[in-house]
Amino acid sequence: MNKFVLENLHVKYSDGVEALKGVSLEIPAKSITVLFGPAGGGKSTLLRTLNRLNDLSDVTEVSGRVAMFNSDSSATDLLNPRLDVIALRRRVAMVFARPIVLPMTIRENLTYGLTLAGERSTIRLHEAVERSLQQAALWDEVKDRLDEPAISLSGGQQQRLCLARSLALDPEVILLDEPTSGLDPISTTKVEASLQEIKMNYTVILVPHSIQQAARTADQAAFILQGQLIEQADGKELFLNPRDKRTQDYIEGRFG
Amino acid sequence: MASTTKTNSARRNSIQTIGFSGLTLLAILTVLPILFIVVYIFVKGISAISVEFLTGFPSNGMRSGGIWPAILGTVLLTFGTAICAVPIGIAAAIYLSEYAPDNRWTRLIRISIVNLAGIPSVVYGLFGLGIFVLSLQMGTSILAASLTLGIMTLPVVISTSEEALRAVPQSFRVVSRSLGGTQWQAIRRIVLPQSVSGILTGVILGLERAAGETAPILFTGAAFYLPTLPSSALDETMALPYHLYVISTQVPGMPSDIQFGTALVLLVLVLGLNLLATIIRSRARRRRMW
Amino acid sequence: MEVFITSAIKVAGYSAILFVLAIFVFLLTEGLPAIREVSLSVLLSQRWYPIEGYYGILPLLFGTLLVTIGAALIAVPVGVGTAIYIAEVSPRWAREILKPLVEIMAGVPSVVLGFIGIIVLASTLRQVLSLPTGLTAFAGSLLLGAISIPTIVSVAEDALDAVPRSYRDAALALGATRWQTIWKVTLPAARSGVITAVMLGIGRAIGETMTVMMVTGNAPVMPTGLSSLFEPARTMTATIAAEMGEVATDSTHYHVLFLIGIILFLISLSVNLTASAVLLRQRKRTERILS
């Protein structure tokens, strides 16, 4: 079952750069889809289309079709200019490349999104804190220091806190844009392990920070080069037997 | 050949030594007067300071007694200025830092702010006299003077507050939006709390200037001498800077300790605000969570 | 709710334009009648004696010019030199002392400077230079210099600080001394910022009121040259401050004082417009270089 279907998606920035040049892609629900390729190829732009965060940057032209399927299998048109983007972002959460913890306590970071949505119940807020920390494999490390400033955590813990913060909203989709690029190998392993848990209940779309990570985590993989989708396949298949010469060259490290 | 290079470089070094000494001298020239003024006023004025001086009314044609009405007046005017300038100033700073598109109109706003900051204070006095005192019939009053000082202080409040707001990392705003927040929620819950001490610093620096100004209140609210304290915002008031002007130019036979005492109180008030701003700024830097 | 807040913020954002316009329009409505009531030949005469209907503003204009030139001669070298010292030469500890002191200097109320001017400066000048009175244009220039120095120092120092470290390193690597680097590389690179600093400093001096009113002796006489520095003078700002309190509303005198206000407004407008244009051009160039 697909969560997203993209057809012929074009995205252009105000400086004339066309970041995406007609991408068509199907993203299945409740699995990890990896978008990989050299830097500047449009992967982040694609992610930010799915939660309309591109609205905040100077994107001037978007065309094509992007549909998100709801639990009742109806579809939402994500390019609809009148779409309620606030509601969308609660359903499609995002983790950024650097751990951006908000300048408040660990607990407040986790409840921030829910209180924005008007949640007042301390019981429900605390449930969300514990559940999301468990999911991000951080609960044991921070359960006794929830009211300390989030900045006091180590870099790896901070990034898992950011993951937990997204999960606290109980979204349907988690977008991760090179979430481990600044982390040490141990933290990276922890994040990857929790992604394997999370995908049981959420649709995960990951821009990996290395081909190795792509190969390790992907259920589905899509190779994106200069704004175009080169090929998409079942994860292991794409890395073992790439059909396109460019994919093969990239995987073997001949460029990028 | 080698020896020419050597003398050449020796010459260059001595030029540099002379040049640097000259620059040092200029820097000393900059700070000596201020050191002199502060110390001189302190030494000559401290003997005049007493409880009666700070809490009493002027008597004997201001040649004896205290300066309480002037102190109170300056405090009232400073509060009035804050009430007029702070809400508009912070709102304008939020507009410029968070909402304003990069276009012609925004540039016009910025140019206006720069010009507002450059208008001579006595011209603000003229404006205040014409519009608040006469046209809007407030009379010479605390209200008219506060509004005049408020407009004069506005550019300081706007530019320092905008700087404080911009110092909050852009990524916090993006994260807040990505968690399903509106633009205002990001401002209200993250940007403003994180910049509050910077904004406060700017506001205090603006008020510091307003507290020491004389020209804008000359014809809008400052009184030469009043036997009673003001009872409403529509009354005139005495004010420290104007009082110092009066007793150092308009009253013959003025005892110098009262003059220096008044100057000292004004200086302490103004520099106290400056110190307060510095303390808030440095404490905020140390406690910053990013 | 959010719509309401956002619109209130937007209105406040545009308020600065509104205030500048309001001030200018208001000065015009109150000041322009003076041109109808007083003939141009009188306005441009050399005699200011309003009680008898002499409204010659030239002595005031030149009084301001004289005092300001004197202030600039003092403040520009001292201010720019201090900025260079702080930004390029001084050891860290000296900077930590100098910067707050300059800030304090900017905060000292002008009436306090005027007071010191009367008590200390004027009598010293009278004795040292054996003048009939110490309350002269020169006393005004000295104090206005002190008032504009903090502006010049802080703006110029920002400009010098903004010159990329790599420029200096490159010059030093080529064997230039630090002194040569300052003059041949850093100062030229910060040129427009330093010019802006000087302009803003002079702008402050032109607009300053209380200090000059207290120490220049307030005689509206036409200066004849730089030697007039050592005679009493009177500026436009001091004239407004000294006389506005005693004129009848809507009288000719009242209108002429507003006319002087218009002149001051236009001077500050042109100083600040030029300064921000210089800064804007500089910023564009820096952006081009850095991008």
Domain boundaries, chain C: 68-290
Q: At residue C288, does pLDDT exceed 60? A: no
Tell me what pLDDT residue A71 has: 86
| Pair B171, A100: CB distance under 8 Å | yes
| Sheet hosting strand A32-36, strand order edge to edge | A92-95, A173-177, A203-207, A32-36, A220-225, A228-234
* Closest-approach residue (CA) in chain A for B98: A56
CB contact under 8 A, B181 and A113: yes
A91, A95, A100: best mutation site toward chain B, by most B Cβ within 10 Å?
A100
Q: At residue C176, does pLDDT exceed 60? A: yes
Cα–Cα distance measured from residue A50 to residue A6, given in angstroms and rounded to the nearest whole number? 10
Nearest to C12 among B38, B92, B119 (CB): B92
Q: How confident is the model at residue B267 (pLDDT cuts 50, 70, 90)?
A: very high
- Chain centroid to Cα A212, Å, comes to 18
Cα–Cα distance measured from residue B158 to residue B109, given in angstroms and rounded to the nearest whole number? 11
pLDDT tens digit string along A153-182?
A: 999 999 999 999 999 999 999 999 999 988
Distance in Å, alpha carbon of A242 to nearest chain B alpha carbon:
35
Cα–Cα distance measured from residue C158 to residue A44, given in angstroms and rounded to the nearest whole number? 37
Tell me what pLDDT residue C215 has: 95
CB contact under 8 A, C210 and B241: yes
Chains that touch A (3 or more CB pairs under 8 A): B
Q: How confident is the model at residue B1 (pLDDT cuts 50, 70, 90)?
A: very low
> Percent of chain C beyond pLDDT 90?
78
Distance in Å, alpha carbon of C285 to nearest chain B alpha carbon:
17
Q: How confident is the model at residue C7 (pLDDT cuts 50, 70, 90)?
A: very high
Neighbour tally for C118: CB within 10 Å: 18
B171, B172, B175, B197: best mutation site toward chain A, by most A Cβ within 10 Å?
B175
Query: Averaged over C257-269, what is the pLDDT?
Result: 96
Q: Given CB atoms, is C24 within the 8 Å cutoff of chain B? A: no
Three-state DSSP at A255 gives coil
Cα–Cα distance measured from residue A116 to residue A104, given in angstroms and rounded to the nearest whole number? 15
Nearest to B245 among C8, C89, C111 (CB): C111
Cα–Cα distance measured from residue C89 to residue C91, given in angstroms and rounded to the nearest whole number? 7
Cα–Cα distance measured from residue A148 to residue A104, given in angstroms and rounded to the nearest whole number? 8
Q: How confident is the model at residue C291 (pLDDT cuts 50, 70, 90)?
A: very low
Cα–Cα distance measured from residue A97 to residue B226, given in angstroms and rounded to the nearest whole number? 66
Residues 6 or more apart whose CB falls under 8 angstroms from that of B247 comprise B62, B254, B258, B259, B262
Pairing of strands A59-69, A75-77: antiparallel
Tell me what pLDDT residue B218 has: 93
Look over chain A and give the mean of its residue pLDDT values, rounded to a whole number. Answer: 93
CB contact under 8 A, C82 and B109: no
Provide, as residue numbers in chain A, all residues whose Cβ is less than 8 Å from the Cβ of B170.
Answer: none
CB contact under 8 A, C208 and B120: yes
A111, A116, A170, A174: best mutation site toward chain B, by most B Cβ within 10 Å?
A116
| Pair B140, A19: CB distance under 8 Å | no
Strand partners, A66: A6
In Å, how far are A251, B212, C21, C217, C254 from C239, measured between CA atoms? 81, 20, 24, 11, 12
Nearest to B267 among C108, C207, C214 (CB): C108
Neighbour tally for C71: CB within 10 Å: 29
CB contact under 8 A, C116 and B259: no
Q: How many Å is the Cα radius of gyration of chain B?
A: 24
Distance in Å, alpha carbon of A164 to nearest chain B alpha carbon:
12
Tell me what pLDDT residue A57 has: 86
Beta-carbon contacts below 8 Å between A and B? 61
| Pair A150, A178: CB distance under 8 Å | no
CB contact under 8 A, B172 and A98: no
* Closest-approach residue (CA) in chain A for B176: A113
Distance in Å, alpha carbon of B104 to nearest chain A alpha carbon:
18
Q: At residue B184, does pLDDT exceed 50? A: yes
Assigned architecture for domain B71-287: Orthogonal Bundle (1.10)
Tell me what pLDDT residue C101 has: 92
CB contact under 8 A, A56 and B177: yes
Pairing of strands A173-177, A203-207: parallel
Residues 6 or more apart whose CB falls under 8 angstroms from that of C208 comprise B120, C110, C144, C147, C237
Distance in Å, alpha carbon of B168 to nearest chain A alpha carbon:
10
CB contact under 8 A, B212 and C111: yes
Q: At residue B177, does pLDDT exceed 80? A: yes
Nearest to B179 among A87, A98, A112 (CB): A112
Tell me what pLDDT residue B5 has: 63
| Pair C100, B278: CB distance under 8 Å | yes
C abuts A (3+ Cβ pairs < 8 Å): no
Nearest to B241 among C11, C13, C111 (CB): C111
B175, B177, B179, B290: best mutation site toward chain A, by most A Cβ within 10 Å?
B179
Q: Given CB atoms, is C138 within the 8 Å cutoff of chain B? A: no
CB contact under 8 A, B41 and C264: no
pLDDT tens digit string along B64-88?
A: 889 999 999 999 999 999 999 999 9
CB contact under 8 A, C268 and B115: yes
Neighbour tally for C93: CB within 10 Å: 8
Handedness of CA C85, C86, C87, C88 (dihedral sign): positive
Residues 6 or more apart whose CB falls under 8 angstroms from that of C120 comprise B40
B abuts C (3+ Cβ pairs < 8 Å): yes
**Domain C68-290 CATH assignment equals 3.40.50.300:** no
Which residue in this structure is represented by tokens 């200390």? Answer: C120
Q: At residue B2, does pLDDT exceed 60? A: no
Q: How confident is the model at residue B253 (pLDDT cuts 50, 70, 90)?
A: confident
Query: What's the CATH number for A2-251?
Result: 3.40.50.300
Tell me what pLDDT residue C284 has: 62
Q: How confident is the model at residue B4 (pLDDT cuts 50, 70, 90)?
A: low
Query: Averaged over B24-41, what is the pLDDT?
Result: 94
Q: How confident is the model at residue B241 (pLDDT cuts 50, 70, 90)?
A: very high
Tell me what pLDDT residue C30 has: 94
- Burial class of residue B187, CB neighbours in 10 A (0-12, 13-18, 19+): buried
Q: Given CB atoms, is B1 within the 8 Å cutoff of chain A? A: no
Q: Given CB atoms, is B67 within the 8 Å cutoff of chain C? A: no
CB contact under 8 A, A113 and B180: yes
pLDDT tens digit string along C23-43?
A: 999 999 999 999 999 999 999
In Å, how far are A81, A100, A107, C264 from A153, measured between CA atoms? 39, 12, 12, 58
Amino acid at the residue B210: A
Q: At residue A142, does pLDDT exceed 90? A: yes
| Pair A142, A157: CB distance under 8 Å | yes
Beta-carbon contacts below 8 Å between B and C? 262
Task: Name the residue among A101, A145, A132 with its Cα closest to residue A197.
Answer: A132
Q: Given CB atoms, is C174 within the 8 Å cutoff of chain B? A: no
* Closest-approach residue (CA) in chain B for C208: B120
| Pair B192, A120: CB distance under 8 Å | no
Query: Averaged over C88-92, what is the pLDDT?
Result: 92
Cα–Cα distance measured from residue B122 to residue C264, given in angstroms and rounded to the nearest whole number? 9
| Pair B38, B170: CB distance under 8 Å | no
Q: At residue A256, does pLDDT exceed 80? A: no
Query: Averaged over A185-209, what is the pLDDT?
Result: 94
CB contact under 8 A, A169 and B180: yes
- Whole-model pTM: value is 0.91
In chain B, residues 211-270 whose CB comes closer than 8 Å to chain C: 211-215, 218-219, 241-242, 244-245, 248-249, 256, 259, 263, 266-267, 270
- Burial class of residue A118, CB neighbours in 10 A (0-12, 13-18, 19+): exposed
Q: Given CB atoms, is C254 within the 8 Å cutoff of chain B? A: no
Query: Averaged over C1-26, what is the pLDDT?
Result: 94
pLDDT tens digit string along C117-164?
A: 999 999 999 999 988 888 999 999 999 999 999 999 999 999 999 899
Per-position DSSP letters for chain C, written without gaps between them = -HHHHHHHHHHHHHHHHHHHHHHHHHHHHHHTHHHHHS-HHHHTSS-EEGGGTEE--HHHHHHHHHHHHHHHHHHHHHHHHHHHIIIII--HHHHHHHHHHHHHHHHS-HHHHHHHIIIIIHHHHHHHTT-S-S-SHHHHHHHHHHHHHHHHHHHHHHHHHTS-HHHHHHHHHTT--HHHHIIIIIHHHTHHHHHHHHHHHHHHHHH--HHHHHHSBT------SGGGGGS-B--HHHHHHHHGGGSPTTSHHHHHHHHHHHHHHHHHHHHHHHHHHHHHHHHHHHHHHH-
| Pair C128, C120: CB distance under 8 Å | no
- Name all contacts of C21-25 with Cβ < 8 Å and 24+ positions apart: C22/B127, C22/B131, C23/B119, C23/B123, C23/B124, C23/B127, C23/C265, C24/C265
CB contact under 8 A, B267 and C112: yes
Of chain A, the end-to-end C-alpha distance in Å amounts to 33
In chain B, residues 169-198 whose CB comes closer than 8 Å to chain C: 182-184
Provide, as residue numbers in chain B, all residues whose Cβ is less than 8 Å from the Cβ of C14.
Answer: 95, 105, 109
CB contact under 8 A, B119 and C23: yes
Provide, as residue numbers in chain B, all residues whose Cβ is less than 8 Å from the Cβ of C114.
Answer: 245, 248
Top-confidence residue, C261 or C218: C261
| Pair B265, B240: CB distance under 8 Å | yes
- Burial class of residue C200, CB neighbours in 10 A (0-12, 13-18, 19+): buried
CB contact under 8 A, A165 and B179: yes
**Inter-axis angle of helices B2-45 and B256-287, to 10 degrees?**
120
C115, C174, C186: best mutation site toward chain B, by most B Cβ within 10 Å?
C115
- Burial class of residue A56, CB neighbours in 10 A (0-12, 13-18, 19+): middle
Q: How confident is the model at residue A104 (pLDDT cuts 50, 70, 90)?
A: very high
* Closest-approach residue (CA) in chain C for B209: C107
* DSSP tag of B222: B
Provide, as residue numbers in chain A, all residues whose Cβ is less than 8 Å from the Cβ of B182.
Answer: 86, 116
Pairing of strands B58-59, A228-234: unpaired
Residues 6 or more apart whose CB falls under 8 angstroms from that of B134 comprise C249
Nearest to B185 among A93, A104, A116 (CB): A116
> Percent of chain B beyond pLDDT 70?
98
Tell me what pLDDT residue B87 has: 96
